[in-house]
Amino acid sequence: MISERYLTDDLFYKVTPNASHGGYIAVTSLSISKDFKGQGVGTSLIAAFKDLAIAQKRQGISLTCHDYLITYYEMNGFIDEGESKSNQGGSIWYNMVWENPEG
Average pLDDT over residues 30-49: 96
- pTM comes to 0.90
The pLDDT score that the predictor gives to residue 89 is 86
pLDDT score of 15 more than 80: no
If you average pLDDT over every residue of the chain, what do you get?
A: 93
> How many CB atoms sit inside 10 A of residue 1's CB?
18
The CATH architecture to which 9-99 belongs is 3-Layer(aba) Sandwich (3.40)
Burial of 59 (0-12, 13-18, 19+ CB in 10 A): buried
For residue range 46-94, list pLDDT tens digits in order. Answer: 999 999 999 999 999 999 999 999 999 999 999 999 999 998 889 999 9
Distance between CA 97 and CA 62 in Å, rounded? 5
